[in-house]
A and B are shown apart, each in its own frame.
Chain A
Amino acid sequence: MEQSWKQAKAVFTAALGPPLVWLALFFLAPMAIVWAYSFGHNAGLTEIAISGTFANYARAIEPLYLKIFLKSAWVAGLTTGLCLVLGFPVALAITFASDKAKTWLLLLIMLPFWTNLLIRTYALIAVLRTEGYINQSLAWLWKGGSGFAALVGLQPLGDFQPLALLHNNFAVILGLVYVHLPFMVLPLYSALDRLDKSLLEASLDLGAGHMRTLFKVVVPLALPGIASGILITFIPALGAYLTPDLLGGPDSQMIANIIERQFKRANDWPFGAAMSFVLMYLTFIAIAIQALLAKRTPEAKG
Chain B
Amino acid sequence: MTDKPIITFENITKRFGKMVAVDNVSLTINEGEFFSLLGPSGCGKTTLLRMLAGFETPTEGRILIDGQDISNVPPNKRPVNMVFQSYAVFPHMTVADNVAYGLVVDKVAKVERDRRVDEALELVQLGGLGHRKPDQLSGGQRQRVALARALVKRPRVLLLDEPLSALDAKLREQMRTELCTLQEKVGITFIMVTHDQDEALALASRCAVMNRGVLQQVATPSDLYEFPNSRFVADFIGSVNLFEGVLAVDEPSHAVIRSPDLPVDIFLDHGVTGARGGAVWAAIRPEKIELHKKTGDEPPNLGDCPKGTNAVAGVIKHEAYLGGQSTYEVETLTPTGGGRRIKVHRSNLTRWDQEDFKLGETVWLCWHACSPAVLLS
Interface segment out of the listed A195-203, A225-233, A288-296: A195-203
**Which of B76, B106, B149, B153 has the most C-beta atoms of chain A within 10 angstroms of its own C-beta?**
B76
Tell me what chain A mostly uses at the interface: helix, strand, loop, or mixed.
helix
Contact at B88–A199, with CB atoms within 8 Å?
yes
Contact at B105–A201, with CB atoms within 8 Å?
no
Residues of A within 8 A of B149 (CB): 202, 206
Taken residue by residue from 30 to 48, chain B's Cβ proximity to chain A (1 for < 8 Å, 0 otherwise) reads as 0000000000000000000
Known A201-B75, A221-B91, A301-B92: A207·B102 in contact at CB below 8 Å = yes
Contact at B94–A207, with CB atoms within 8 Å?
no
Whether A28 sits at the interface, judged by CB under 8 Å, is: no
Whether B90 sits at the interface, judged by CB under 8 Å, is: yes
Whether B53 sits at the interface, judged by CB under 8 Å, is: yes
Whether B84 sits at the interface, judged by CB under 8 Å, is: yes
Whether B243 sits at the interface, judged by CB under 8 Å, is: no
Known A204-B76, A206-B153: A198·B92 in contact at CB below 8 Å = no
Whether B82 sits at the interface, judged by CB under 8 Å, is: yes
In the bound complex, CA of A202 to CA of B76 (Å): 9
Contact at B76–A209, with CB atoms within 8 Å?
yes
Residues of B within 8 A of A212 (CB): 105
The distance from the CB of B157 to the nearest CB of chain A, in whole angstroms, is 12
The distance from the CB of B306 to the nearest CB of chain A, in whole angstroms, is 59
**Which of A196, A201, A207 has the most C-beta atoms of chain B within 10 angstroms of its own C-beta?**
A207
Taken residue by residue from 93 to 123, chain B's Cβ proximity to chain A (1 for < 8 Å, 0 otherwise) reads as 1100100011001100000000000000000
* Chain A 156-213 interface residues, beta-carbon cutoff 8 Å to B: 196, 198-199, 201-209, 212
Residues of B within 8 A of A205 (CB): 53-54, 75-76, 80-82, 150
Residues of B within 8 A of A202 (CB): 82, 84, 88, 90, 146, 149
Residues of A within 8 A of B75 (CB): 201, 204-205
- Which listed residue, B74, B86, B101, touches A198 by the CB 8 Å rule? B86
In the bound complex, CA of A205 to CA of B84 (Å): 10
Give the size of the chain A interface in residues (CB under 8 angstroms): 19
* Chain B 49-65 interface residues, beta-carbon cutoff 8 Å to A: 53-55
* Chain A 11-59 interface residues, beta-carbon cutoff 8 Å to B: none
Contact at B81–A206, with CB atoms within 8 Å?
yes
- Which listed residue, B88, B105, B146, touches A207 by the CB 8 Å rule? B105
Contact at B76–A198, with CB atoms within 8 Å?
no
Contact at B92–A207, with CB atoms within 8 Å?
no
Whether A220 sits at the interface, judged by CB under 8 Å, is: yes
In the bound complex, CA of A196 to CA of B134 (Å): 15
For residue A302, which residue of chain B has the nearest CB? B94
Contact at B76–A207, with CB atoms within 8 Å?
yes
Known A198-B88, A201-B55: A207·B82 in contact at CB below 8 Å = no
Residues of A within 8 A of B86 (CB): 196, 198
The distance from the CB of B78 to the nearest CB of chain A, in whole angstroms, is 8
Whether A217 sits at the interface, judged by CB under 8 Å, is: yes
Contact at A207–B84, with CB atoms within 8 Å?
no
In the bound complex, CA of A199 to CA of B55 (Å): 13
Residues of A within 8 A of B82 (CB): 201-202, 205
Contact at A206–B102, with CB atoms within 8 Å?
yes
In the bound complex, CA of A204 to CA of B76 (Å): 5
Known A207-B153, A302-B94: A201·B88 in contact at CB below 8 Å = yes
In the bound complex, CA of A198 to CA of B162 (Å): 14
Contact at A199–B105, with CB atoms within 8 Å?
no
The distance from the CB of B97 to the nearest CB of chain A, in whole angstroms, is 8
The distance from the CB of B72 to the nearest CB of chain A, in whole angstroms, is 15
In the bound complex, CA of A221 to CA of B90 (Å): 9
For residue A202, which residue of chain B has the nearest CB? B88
In the bound complex, CA of A217 to CA of B104 (Å): 14
Contact at B90–A217, with CB atoms within 8 Å?
yes
In the bound complex, CA of A217 to CA of B105 (Å): 13
**Which of A203, A205, A207 has the most C-beta atoms of chain B within 10 angstroms of its own C-beta?**
A205
The distance from the CB of B11 to the nearest CB of chain A, in whole angstroms, is 25
The distance from the CB of B304 to the nearest CB of chain A, in whole angstroms, is 54
- Which listed residue, A196, A209, A301, touches B88 by the CB 8 Å rule? A196
* Chain B 315-341 interface residues, beta-carbon cutoff 8 Å to A: none
Contact at B101–A208, with CB atoms within 8 Å?
yes
* Chain A 216-275 interface residues, beta-carbon cutoff 8 Å to B: 216-217, 220-221
For residue B85, which residue of chain A has the nearest CB? A198
In the bound complex, CA of A216 to CA of B86 (Å): 19
Residues of B within 8 A of A301 (CB): 92-93
The distance from the CB of A156 to the nearest CB of chain B, in whole angstroms, is 52
For residue B82, which residue of chain A has the nearest CB? A205
Other A-B contacts than A201-B55, A207-B102, A208-B76, 14 sampled, CB-CB below 8 A, are: A198-B84, A201-B88, A202-B88, A203-B90, A204-B55, A204-B74, A205-B54, A205-B150, A207-B153, A208-B101, A209-B76, A216-B101, A217-B90, A301-B93
Chain A to chain B contacts (Cβ below 8 Å), 23 pairs: A196-B88, A198-B84, A198-B86, A199-B88, A201-B53, A201-B55, A201-B75, A202-B90, A203-B90, A204-B55, A204-B76, A205-B76, A205-B81, A205-B82, A206-B105, A206-B149, A206-B153, A207-B106, A208-B76, A208-B102, A212-B105, A221-B91, A301-B92
The 4 closest A-B pairs by CB, nearest first: A206-B102, A202-B88, A198-B88, A207-B105
